[in-house]
Structure 1
Amino acid sequence: LGCIIRGETYHFELVANESGAGVTRLALDYQIPIANAIITTENMEQAIARQTDKGVDAARVAVEMANLLDELS
């Protein structure tokens, strides 16, 4: 859960790509559901506009995925 706001350097792309890849690696390595709720924006105004209920949505998705995994096993 987080927000990456573009700055003046290439650092934005590195952080955005590696954070997404890290979340995916954790889910695959530990075989657990992890919902990625990291938003990327161009500026603070976009960040504020896009942040609504992202944490709630991510938690809901993670619980639904865990329940589905239980049903499948």
Structure 2
Amino acid sequence: MEKLTGRHWSWAAGLLLGLGQMVWIALELAYLPDNSALQVVYGTTGLLLVLLPVLPAVRRHLVAPATR
């Protein structure tokens, strides 16, 4: 994964986990009749997992060792 992104593997993993969590919550909201406050909490957590790796400071910190 580092060859594709130029970042440490945890950078891509954070993005993928956040996207997966957001898709999961979206499917829950679409298919389950009852809504819960936890869906908001987990949806927000997924959004943060997607947004945090894109911050410039995090991107600089997670540069792959071979490209430093």
The normalised TM-score by structure 2 is: 0.40
Per chain length, whose mean CA-contact separation is higher, i.e. which structure has more relative contact order (CA < 8 Å, sep 6+)? Answer: 2
